[in-house]
Structure 1
Amino acid sequence: MKILKILAVVLFTSGFAKAQELNSADVPGNLNDAFNKEYPKATNAEWKKELDHYKVEFDLDRRDHEVWYNASGNMLKKELEITEAELPQVVRSIIKSKYAGYRVDDVEMVWKNKVKTYEVELEKGQDEKHIIFDEKGKVLNERNH
């Protein structure tokens, strides 16, 4: 029983070690400034502290966005939810031919280290795939879920 209590405490507190939700007032000023300058029309901003960086999820033009900043206010990564139709034609063609029978479930355009990629989740029955494409349609990573 003692082991179960210890395990419960570890599991409960480990979630807090990964991400801590922040009120806007608790976000460092330089991060708020960088965010507000880049996204002045953003709504529903929710900040989280994740290990050594900060993440903000927000809505802009009826789309979900996520942006990661380091403590200095430099943008590390950003993700924008897009539609299948907004994928480059070459990526759509590869999905249609190589992944015939799969349905596009979720698509995000990702910028990291000044490189744009497309993260696509595909489903076919119980089979799920997560694929990362570059702008030219090259598969950079593929994994099954």
Structure 2
Amino acid sequence: MKIENYSQFVPESSFYFALKKEMKLTFLTILILITTTYGVNAQKLSAKNVPSVVVNNFKKLYRKASDVSWEKVDKLYKVEFDFEGKDNVKIWFDESLRIAKQVENIAIGEMPKKINAFLQQNYRRYKIDDIQKIVLNGIVNYEVEVEHKDRDKLLTFNNQGELISAIEKD
């Protein structure tokens, strides 16, 4: 006689089930620690630890920047700063001084009119939480966080104001 499922012969409160549950929990904990530890590869830097050509290029582009902080993320130099009334502007420079990515918070009036029209038509009851203009390798997108009651969404639009994605947020 071959027994396919021997758990029917072992009480659920037994050592076997407790050990199995503990092993699953330990495995999940280790998995989370590994992914969070190795997933973040950024280090804060002072301006003197950033190559001078990168700092000088930044200063040439944003002379009136304030509250400047630097980070190295993989092979990119990320600078976060305030500029001309905008808080937390973020720019990532690559090693050849090109702007690889730029993120800035913007006002509703700075979005393409087509996005405003879309929001009025489809998300009238939603409150706009946050609007960001994102430039990645020269391609401009807009991210708009909206919320209504317990529903939060992240809407992404291209530069022409067309909806690219709508993601429910937890």
TM range (shorter): 0.7 to 0.9
Partner of 1:113: 137
Query: Is the CA contact (8 Å cut-off) linking 1:106 and 1:121 kept in structure 2?
Result: yes
* Residues 1:73 and 2:97 are matched in the alignment: yes
Q: Over residues 15-36 of structure 1, what are the superposed CA-to-partner deviations in whole Å (9 max), with x where a residue is unaligned?
A: 7942211111111112101111
Partner of 1:82: 106
* Residues 1:143 and 2:167 are matched in the alignment: yes
Moved over 6 A (4+): none
The equivalent position to 1:53 in structure 2, one of 76, 100, 107, is 76
Which one is further off, 101-110 or 80-89? 80-89
- Structure 1 distance, partners of 2:39, 2:118, is 40
The equivalent position to 1:103 in structure 2, one of 98, 108, 127, is 127
Query: Is the CA contact (8 Å cut-off) linking 1:103 and 1:122 kept in structure 2?
Result: yes
Q: Cα offset for 1:67?
A: 0.3
* Residues 1:133 and 2:157 are matched in the alignment: yes
TM norm structure 2: 0.73
Partner of 1:41: 64
SS of residue matched to 1:57 = strand
Partner of 2:37: 14
Q: Which has the higher contact order (CA 8 A, sep 6+)?
A: 1
Query: Is the CA contact (8 Å cut-off) linking 1:108 and 1:120 kept in structure 2?
Result: yes
Query: Which runs of 5 or more structure 1 residues have no equivalent in the other structure?
Result: none
SS of residue matched to 1:96 = helix
Q: Which has the larger radius of gyration?
A: 2
TM norm structure 1: 0.85
- Structure 1 distance, partners of 2:53, 2:130, is 32
RMSD: 2.4
Q: Over residues 42-87 of structure 1, what are the superposed CA-to-partner deviations in whole Å (9 max), with x where a residue is unaligned?
A: 0111111112212111000120211011122211011221111222
Counting aligned pairs with the same residue, the percent is 28
More strand by share: 1
Partner of 2:47: 24
